[in-house]
Amino acid sequence: MGKRVLVTELIPQSIKELLEQEVEVETWDSSEQMPRELLLQKIKDKHGFITGKDKIDDELLEAGNQLEVVSNVSVGYDNYDVDAIKRHQILATHTPYVLDETVADLIFGLILSAARRITELDKYVKDGKWQASIDQSLFGHNVHHKKLGIIGLGRIGEKVAKRATLGFEMDVSYYNRSRNDQAEKELGVTYASFQDIITNSDFILLMTPLTKETYHLIDQAAFEQMKKTCFFINASRGAVVDEKALIQALLDKKIAGAGLDVFEKEPIDPKNPLLEMDNVVTLPHIGSATAETRKAMKEFAANNCLQALRGEEPEAVIKELK
Q: List the catalytic residues.
A: 237, 266, 285
CB of 101 to ligand DGY, least distance (A): 13
Task: Mention every residue, 6+ apart, whose C-beta is less than 8 A from residue 301.
Answer: 9, 50, 71, 72, 73, 93, 95
Site for ligand DGY in 58-87 (CB under 6 A): 74-76
- Of 98 and 230, which has the nearer Cβ to ligand DGY? 98
DSSP per residue, 67-135: --EEEESSS--TTB-HHHHHHHT-EEE---STTHHHHHHHHHHHHHHHHHTHHHHHHHHHTT---S---
- Site map (CB under 6 A) of ligand DGY, residues 190-209, x = contact: --------------------
Stretch that binds ligand DGY, among 15-23, 107-115, 171-179, 281-289 (CB under 6 A): 281-289
- Of 210 and 255, which has the nearer Cβ to ligand DGY? 210
CB of 215 to ligand DGY, least distance (A): 16
C-beta of residue 226 within 8 angstroms of C-beta of residue 254: yes
C-alpha distances (whole Å) from 226 to each of 115, 163, 256, 274 are: 16, 23, 10, 19
- Of 201 and 288, which has the nearer Cβ to ligand DGY? 288
Question: Phi then psi for 163, rounded to 5 degrees?
Answer: -60, -40
CB of 295 to ligand DGY, least distance (A): 14
Among 48, 109, 259, 287, binds ligand DGY (CB under 6 A): 287
CB of 218 to ligand DGY, least distance (A): 17
- Of 217 and 256, which has the nearer Cβ to ligand DGY? 217
- Of 23 and 287, which has the nearer Cβ to ligand DGY? 287
Q: In this structure, what DSSP letter does residue 54 have? A: -
CB of 74 to ligand DGY, least distance (A): 3
CA distance 75 to 208: 12
| Helix %, strand %, coil % of the chain (to 5) | 40, 15, 45
CB of 109 to ligand DGY, least distance (A): 13
Stretch that binds ligand DGY, among 55-63, 126-134, 219-227, 283-291 (CB under 6 A): 283-291
Residue 48 pairs in a beta bridge with: 5, 69
Q: Which helix (H) or strand (E) holds 187?
A: helix 181-187
Pairing of strands 231-234, 190-191: unpaired
C-alpha distances (whole Å) from 125 to each of 115, 119, 300 are: 18, 10, 42
Does the protein bind ligand DGY through residue 93 (CB under 6 A)?
no
Stretch that binds ligand DGY, among 170-178, 191-199, 221-229, 280-288 (CB under 6 A): 280-288
Among 180, 288, 304, 307, binds ligand DGY (CB under 6 A): 288
Site for ligand DGY in 116-145 (CB under 6 A): none
Using CB under 6 A, count the residues that bind ligand DGY: 7
- Of 78 and 120, which has the nearer Cβ to ligand DGY? 78
CA distance 238 to 231: 16
Task: Mention every residue, 6+ apart, whose C-beta is less than 8 A from residue 61.
Answer: 67, 84, 85, 87, 88, 90
- Of 64 and 287, which has the nearer Cβ to ligand DGY? 287
Residue 175: closest CA among 152, 202, 199, 200: 152
Binding residues for ligand DGY, rule: CB under 6 A, are: 74-76, 99, 285, 287-288
